[in-house]
Structure 1
Amino acid sequence: GIVVGGGKALVEVYQELKDTLVSDNKEVQQGIDVVVQSLLVPTYQIAYNAGFSVKDVVKQQLLQPLNFGFNAKEGKYVCLLKEGIIDPTKVTRQAVLNAASISALM
């Protein structure tokens, strides 16, 4: 399968998890926060690499409706599916699992 690309699928996951994953254990919560925040890193990197304000792009990504996000090539917000900006689900899933695995080592 596919998911919207440009980091938007992970932004959607971030929005779902940021307020729902909560632990009473301070150390566990810190780990959760690191993993959840890491979901925004692909969007940061795409904006940075394309020469756009990271803060502005991430802020706008969070406000965009489902499947809409930043087209770094054009510098505008578009329907990512319609524009063909997609990622394989398996690749996105594996990237998250790898990031979580590395976080567990730290």
Structure 2
Amino acid sequence: GGVAFLNALPGLEKVELANGDEQTGVRILRRALEEPLRRIATNAGQDGSVVVQKVMSLKKGQGYDAATDSYGDMIALGIIDPAKVTKAALENAVSIAGMVLTTNVLVTDAPDDNRPNAGVTADMGMY
């Protein structure tokens, strides 16, 4: 997973930036696009930045299999990273972020102190 986002990174090089704010936005987006794969690798006990750099140097269609700590053809490894779904998720996240940045007030639920602890989840490094 995460390879579809990495494949989008070259598109950021083509964006014409008018000012420093836009450059900052592209830097934030670049880091955000790398983060899913970085997190997958970190959760598998690997250095996420090293895995991201390695995958970026691979041919299109190749990626990282965290279960076996190996690199290869994603389809042959049985890993499907659907670009259409990934694109929709990114578009929605950017839309929400833009709305939050232009909103003066955000409303959220107050923390519920009586809610039971969720316990250990899969993304906490426990296997």
TM-score, reference length from structure 2: 0.70
1:83-102 equivalences in 2 (<5 Å): 83-102=77-96
Q: Is contact 1:69-1:77 (8 Å) kept?
A: yes
TM-score, reference length from structure 1: 0.83
CA distance in structure 2 between the partners assigned to 1:55 and 1:47 by the alignment: 8
More helix by share: 1
- TM-superposed deviation, 1:19: 1.7
Calculate the aligned-residue CA RMSD, in Å: 1.6
Runs of 4+ in 1 over 4 A off after TM superposition: none
Residue 6 of structure 2: aligned partner: 11
Give me the identity figure in percent: 31
Alignment gaps of 5+ in structure 1: 1-5
Q: Is contact 1:43-1:58 (8 Å) kept?
A: yes
Radius of gyration: which is bigger? 2
Residue aligned with 1:82, SS: coil
CA distance in structure 2 between the partners assigned to 1:12 and 1:68 by the alignment: 10
